[in-house]
Each structure stands twice: as structure tokens, then as C-alpha cells.
Structure 1
Amino acid sequence: MTPRTLYRRIAVAEVVTWALLLLGMVLKYVTKSTELGVRVFGLAHGFVFIAYCLTTLLLWVNQRWTAREGLLGLLSAVPPFLTVWWERRLERRGRLDDGWRLGRGGETPTSRAERVVTALLARPVVAVGVGVVAVLALTGVALVVGPPVGKQG
């Protein structure tokens, strides 16, 4: 899977879970019919949000994005539906072109972050496992900490 394909898929997944969470919020706060949607879609959105942020960090290093591009990539996950717009903007600017720069037979890493990305790309199955464990761990922390706006009833 190319960096472009990976980023597009995770950006779309983030938008879909945002839409589902907003639907759950309408059911909870507007129709007052159920809060199940917020519970289920909130968890799904949180999981995908974290996966999107980790993917952004991975591509920030591999694609040599500027600090501005990396930070805007991370921030694009906060407002609803912005991740797909951001991914398309990066694509139009050629910032998602080519394959994995740090993959097998690619460039030699020059920083600690590049060495980590190189190690992950050399072992894709391990990388997926590390990614899943990281997302689960961060999701667990988020569940313990609670909703971003505080406890709501």
C-alpha cells in the first residue's frame, strides 16, 4: 500500500466516523431518543482519530513534510470532515507522491524518527501490530481520561 492510498483510506474513515458520531449526537441531544450512537460511534471515532494521527506522524517523517504540513495534518482531524480535504490538498501539491522513501531499498535514515519508520516499514506485519497496540493503548487512555469537553449527562 502506498503512502497516498494509506492516507486516503484513513482520512475517509475519519470522516465517516465523524459523520456517525454527529448522527449519534443528534439522536442523543436533539431527538433525545438514545445515547447508544454516541457511545458506539464515539468509541469508533476515537479509535480512527488516533489511527489517523499516528498515520499522519508516519507520513510526516516518510514524506519529509514541513512542520507546518505535519501540524496541519494533525489538526485537520479536529474539525469534522477536514481530513479528506487535507489529504486531497497534499495530493494536489505532490506531497503524497512516490512510495515509501524509507522502505526496503530506500534512503538511509538520518534521524531517530526516520530509523523508527525504516524499522516499521521493513516489517509490515510488525508495523501493523505496533500500530494496533498503540491505537488500543491510546484509546484506553482516552477512555480513562474521559470526553474532551468533560463529563456530560
Structure 2
Amino acid sequence: MLHLFRTTAILEGISYLALFAVTMPLKYLADLPMPNKYVGYVHGFLFIAYIVLAIVFWRSQNWGFKKGFILILASLLPFATFYVDKKYLAPREA
């Protein structure tokens, strides 16, 4: 479960950045809307998958409201899924 959630978190973060940093400028500055459409579909799927997996993971870990809220909020902010991965999901070194 952890591996799937971590992978989804990273892919969701990458798709978020690709959507807004790459395909939005292509759509509005270069009049190329198709990349935005397809990256948007992928990002939408990953966003929903991230939310579902975040809730499942949060409940499976018996974390409090604050950590759960952070997991969900991370899906809305650029770079935040990378932060969540590093702070809450990455294995701790001894």
C-alpha cells in the first residue's frame, strides 16, 4: 500500500507541474491545446487516485486529523506531494 501511495503521490506531483508549467503555456502561448487535454486527463485520474489512496492510507495508519488534512491538502498545492512523500512516506533512516 505504501509503495502504491508513494508512487501515486510522485506521479500526481509531476503531472500537476507538467500541466501548469508545460502544457498551459503551450495551450495559451503557442495555440497547442492537445497536450493540455491529454496531460489534464492523466492529472485528473492521478488526482482522484491520490485522494482515494490518501484517505485509505491515512485510515490504515490511524493518523490524527492533522496528518490526514495535510495529505489531502497536498493534492491541491504545487510541490506539496513531494513534501508529503519526504516528510511522511519515505522510510526513515536509523
Instruction: Report the TM-score range of the alignment, normalised by the length of the smaller protein.
Output: 0.7 to 0.9
Relative contact order, higher structure (CA 8 A, sep 6+)? 2
Structure 2: runs of 5 or more not aligned: none
| TM-score, normalization by structure 2 | 0.86
Distance between the aligned counterparts of 1:24 and 1:93, measured in 2? Answer: 33
| TM-score, normalization by structure 1 | 0.55
Give RMSD over aligned pairs: 1.8
Structure 1: runs of 5 or more not aligned: 95-153
List aligned pairs for 1:16-31, cutoff 5 A: 16-22=14-20, 23-29=22-28, 31=29
Shift of 1:71: 1.1
Distance between the aligned counterparts of 1:88 and 1:20, measured in 2? Answer: 20
List aligned pairs for 1:3-152, cutoff 5 A: 3=2, 5-22=3-20, 23-29=22-28, 31-91=29-89
Distance between the aligned counterparts of 1:84 and 1:21, measured in 2? Answer: 16
Residues 98-147 of structure 1, C-alpha deviation per residue, up to 9 Å, x if partnerless? xxxxxxxxxxxxxxxxxxxxxxxxxxxxxxxxxxxxxxxxxxxxxxxxxx
Richer in helix (by share): 2
User: What amino acid sits opposite 1:63 in the alignment?
Assistant: Q
Distance between the aligned counterparts of 1:11 and 1:59, measured in 2? Answer: 12
Shift of 1:82: 1.0
Shift of 1:90: 0.8
Distance between the aligned counterparts of 1:19 and 1:6, measured in 2? Answer: 20
Which 4+ stretches in 1 moved above 4 angstroms?
none
Count of aligned pairs between the two proteins? 91
